[in-house]
Amino acid sequence: MPLFDFDRAIVREPAQSVIDGLRSDRDALPDYDGILREHAAYMAALRGAGLAVDVLSPLDAYPDSMFVEDPALVFPEAAILLRPGAPSRLGEADELRAPLARHFRTVLALEYNQFVDGGDVLITPDSIVIGLSARTCAAGAEALSRILASLGRATRIVRVPDGMLHLKSGAALLDEETLLATAHMESSGLFAGFRTILVPETENAAANAIRVNDTVFLGDCYERSRDLLAEKNFRVVSLPVTEIAKLDAGLSCMSLRWRAG
Residues labelled catalytic: 166, 253
Q: Which residues pair with 227 in a beta bridge?
A: none
